[in-house]
Chains A and B, each alone.
Chain A
């Protein structure tokens, strides 16, 4: 039995037992809460960490440090390969008790169910609703599923507190329109708009998203840089990493140099944060947002 199972609180255990007995009676829920959990999604995996049940294996573990950074994935977590092609022979050998997945991986559902109980969490879907409130609900549901209700509530509270703290710290920037982009190459950006986690966090922190255009299924749009000219009064924050030639090419571009936020020096770099994450990514992003804008003059 892994060490994490001993950290169950009595109240959590009772609650889990009660929910098993009352809501979902059945042989699969009869035993203790599952301790051997596997996640095929970064967002769900990063939520498992603060809940105190680190996953035994995740998809694309080798790229975690580049895209999620924080919370750090403990060493020894098994890499399952690509999420959409998680290694089934390996998964079978690991004998997990619970597999966490998303509707994006729906075609894998029946296969995964042959290995272990599989639960799907919808955070990024086109239905009404946005990622942050969905992440709160999913965190609560996940906490209940693994017998960590109180830790889940603590995470939700901590995240709300982080948002409020950032909002207070950025009070002088309240209502400032901000473009949040990733540079794709020297001519294109991915701009995060409505229905993205970043948009939710910016709103919670009192900022306004400068991108009002259409977005895709995952809450971003891929556009030419000239499209950013629509809101010259905005700030621009770009998420790292950025390709080697982009900044030099932009420096030579008369159009880029004529954009309001460039002329006023309101362009900021921000370390990477997972754009398709859940509450831990939202907290990291809010923290980075606070650091990035803290030094900037409120009305530059």
Chain B
């Protein structure tokens, strides 16, 4: 930990630039004889398609990759400095999710807006999302973790809305999937000309921010002591980063990873001062995207468009992140605000009893009441179709809530959720490979493939975790890297327009449609087993958040307890993912809601979280089956609709006023 690369940021950027240049020259030589290069770039012969392609496709694409990479690198550096969080990245603010949603809505309901300009629509959406994030974290003076948490909640909400639009209008939104994948393909210089002056302005703005940001690297209190308005500096840096991200996502689409990787690599390579970090991050971002895009063009050939560069940056970037993790000096701040949320409840048992009653009532409603051609009806006849879905949702809710609660207590990180563990991503990988490699496969084969994927991810994670003494932050980062790879794969498949990708979309958004009686039974058994194991885990969970030294002093071997807790969490996640897909918002939500009810000790909090998880999922499943009849909204999406506003409200509420 903390070892530095021998080469400085300069050699890093230079080396990568040389590689990118070599690839560009080689690719260009294949497309046009070198003798014609000058002609093609200066004044191409309109009747020579090769020259026109070099002038209006190859060259602007190269320029755009440099500009977008630079913009994202700078945005990432600004965010990481402003939030003092090495994991902050432009997507953290929800800008790309907001832009994506705005574009989808415009395509469906206001196509006239697109004629005005796609980038403006996208930027407006991104800006609204970012303002929402800042608004939600304003009362906490934009504290770094709150901003990232709010960003994630807003991203989830926008993502859920866009996914629903895509499910109901799959034919219309095919173009959006390309955009979501971040395609750099160009037919003229419009985008490059659009970006150049704006990036120059942003660099100027960043130069003005160097001094305030340098002071911000001190502790908040010290910075304030020096007469600085901490929120104001942060806001300025955030605004600049949002504008940069908005420009990029509005013109070429979502290219997520550069903004995270470039500033992190620059730090590892030894850049310390604020000015150096901003400058080298910009350059490294530009070179990284240039290299990635040239590799995509070179390797993919005809399939270049089916592999959008934005998705490939994530595929290449995730292993890079895995390599970076042991080298980053990570001190994730302890959770502020959310942890100190509510007064301790006087009668936890009463709360648990009320939650249980509510859950039972909801299950009854879900089985008996439905909507059909003749409207609402109460009947037992259709229970045969309803119970596997209702019980699968119930079990998944319980499992995810237990897993999320365990993770959050274990890591002391309020953003931990089963999705972050990477096990969901592993299961999803298995399923995707099965669907695309073995054409037509049944449910049993799907389950088998997903299980295998989840197991492999779990084993990989445990192997990596052993190397670093199972430090919870490391494990979470490994999970984030795996999740990013999975997202990239799905995005690439969506962008290719393969209709089979829709099946994945259904599963990913948490549909209970495919749940069989066997699925529901297996998941319920797992859920009850987890509930039974909670009292055994609860003592550890009360102690572990106190930190390694204290828990060691209390007679708890930190490695063993961590490993047992990890395996338990992974197993719970795997079963839930198989049933209801990798969208595990409930795992994040339920433990927070339980804490806000005033349940603070591990056991009552986890039991309440499990009940809340069950309530959320059963309600979501029932609502999803009836609200849009005969269409069905996946339970994962509906849970997000219910849960997100609740979490936003909790975030925005002033604590300890």
Residues of A within 8 A of B (CB): 63, 66-67, 78-82, 84-85, 87-90, 92-93, 103-104, 106-107, 109-111, 125-126, 183-188, 190, 213-214, 216-218, 220-227, 229-230, 232, 243-245, 248, 252-256, 258-260, 276
Interface residue? B118 (CB, 8 A): yes
24 contacts across the A-B interface (CB closer than 8 A): A78-B630, A81-B630, A82-B168, A82-B631, A85-B631, A87-B630, A89-B625, A92-B382, A93-B373, A104-B440, A107-B443, A187-B183, A188-B183, A216-B306, A216-B498, A222-B305, A222-B497, A224-B304, A226-B56, A227-B302, A229-B49, A232-B49, A254-B52, A258-B56
- Find the B residue at minimum CB distance from A85: B513
Contact B185 A187 (CB under 8 A): yes
Complex contacts, B167 vs chain A, CB 8 Å:
82
Q: Return chain B residues, CB-CB under 8 Å to A80.
A: 630
Whether B188 sits at the interface, judged by CB under 8 Å, is yes
Asked if residues B187 and A89 are in contact (CB atoms below 8 Å), the reply is no
A255 to chain B, nearest CB (A): 4
Which stretch from B17-25, B83-91, B144-152, B172-180 is at the chain A interface?
B172-180
Contact A255 to B188, CB < 8 A, known contacts A222-B497, A244-B115: yes
> Does B439 have its Cβ within 8 Å of any Cβ on chain A?
yes
Known A222-B306, A245-B118, A255-B57: A90·B439 in contact at CB below 8 Å: no
Binding site for A on B (CB under 8 A): 46-47, 49, 52-53, 55-57, 107, 111-112, 114-115, 117-118, 167-168, 171, 174-175, 178-179, 183, 185-188, 190, 302-306, 370, 372-373, 382, 385-386, 439-443, 446, 495-500, 502-503, 506, 511, 513-514, 516, 625, 629-632
A84 CB, min distance to chain B CBs, angstroms: 6
Q: Is the CB of B442 within 8 A of A109?
A: yes
Which of A87, A190, A276 has the most chain B CB atoms closer than 10 A to its own CB? A87
- Expressed in whole angstroms, the minimum distance between the Cβ of A97 and any Cβ of chain B is 18
A187 to B625, CA, bound (A): 38
Are B443 and A221 in contact, CB atoms less than 8 angstroms apart? no
Cβ contacts under 8 Å, A218 to chain B: 498-499
Least Cβ distance of B117 to chain A in Å? 8
| 5 tightest Cβ-Cβ pairs between the two chains A and B | A224-B185, A255-B56, A184-B175, A185-B175, A81-B630
Complex contacts, B171 vs chain A, CB 8 Å? 63, 66-67
Nearest chain A CB to B428's CB is how many angstroms away?
16
Given A213-B302, A226-B185, 10 other A-B residues pairs in contact with their CB atoms under 8 A? A80-B630, A88-B385, A125-B439, A125-B440, A216-B306, A216-B496, A222-B497, A224-B304, A252-B188, A260-B49
**Cα–Cα, bound, A104→B47 (Å):** 44
- How many pairs, one residue from A and one from B, have CB atoms within 8 Å of each other in the complex? 174
Q: Considering the complex, give the chain B residue whose CB is closest to the CB of A189.
A: B305
CB distance from B249 to the nearest CB of A (A): 14
Expressed in whole angstroms, the Cα–Cα distance for A259 and B117 within the complex equals 24
Once the chains bind, are B183 and A126 in contact (CB under 8 Å)?
Answer: no
How far apart are the CA atoms of A188 and B52 in the complex, in Å?
18
- Report chain A residues within 8 Å CB of B497: 184, 190, 216, 220, 222
Known: A110-B443, A187-B183. A243 touches B114 (CB 8 A): yes
Q: Which residues of B contact A256 (CB under 8 A)?
A: 187
Q: Which of A87, A220, A229 contacts B53 (CB 8 A)?
A: A229
Q: In the complex, are the beta carbons of A221 and B630 less than 8 A apart?
A: no
**Contacts A244-B112, A244-B114: A229 and B52 contacting too (C-beta < 8 A)?**
yes
Complex CA gap A103/B500 in Å reads 11
CA distance A276 to B442 in the complex (A): 23
Cβ-closest chain A residue relative to B191: A187
Which chain B positions have C-beta within 8 A of A126? 439
Question: Across the interface, do A187 and B186 meet the contact criterion of CB distance under 8 Å?
Answer: yes
B495: A residues at CB distance < 8 A: 222
Q: Which residues of A contact B179 (CB under 8 A)?
A: 185
In the complex, the chain A residue whose C-beta lies closest to that of B110 is: A244
Q: B274: shortest Cβ distance to chain A, in Å?
A: 37
